[in-house]
A and B are shown apart, each in its own frame.
Chain A
Amino acid sequence: MNSPAPNPETKGTFVTDAALKRLKKRHAAETRFKFYGQFAIAIAVLALIALLVSIISQASSAFQRNMLVFDITLNAEDVAPNGTDDPDAIARNVSGFNLLLQDSLRDQFLPEDADASETRQLFGLFTRLAVLPVAKKTAAHVDMVGTQQTVSVALADDIDLYLKGGVTERKSIDLGQVASARGAIGDGIYVSLAPGTDTSALAEAIGGFQEQSLDDSAPTTLIGIGNTWYSVTGFSSNEIALAYLAGARVAPDPSQGIRALVLAQAEANRTVSDRQIAWTMLLKDEGRIRKAFNSTLFTNADSTYPELAGTAAAIVGSLLTMLVTALLAIPVGIFAAVYLEEFAPKNRMTDLIEVNINNLAAVPSIVFGLLGAAVFINFFGMPRSVPLVGGLVLGLLVLPTVIIASRAALKSVPPSIRTAALGVGASKTQSVFHHVLPLAAPGILTGSIIGMARALGETAPLLLIGMVAFVAEVPDGPTDESTVLPVLIYKWSTGAERAWEPQTAAAIIVLLVFLVLMNLIAIILRRRFERRW
Chain B
Amino acid sequence: MSQYQHSDQALSDDECLRYSRHLLLKDLGEAGQLKLKHAQVLVIGMGGLGAPASLYLAAAGIGRLVLADFDEVDSSNLQRQVLYREDDIGQPKVQAAKQHLQGLNANIQVRAVNRKMDEMLLAMEVAQAEVVLDCSDNIATRYAVNQACVKAKVPLVSGAAVAFDGQLMVFDFRKAEQGCYHCLFPNASEQQLNCSNAGILGPVVGTIGSLQALETIKLIANIPSAQVGRFSSFDAHSLEWFHLKVNADLTCPVCGTNKETV
A binds B: no
Chain A residues near B (Cβ < 8 Å): none
Chain B residues near A (Cβ < 8 Å): none
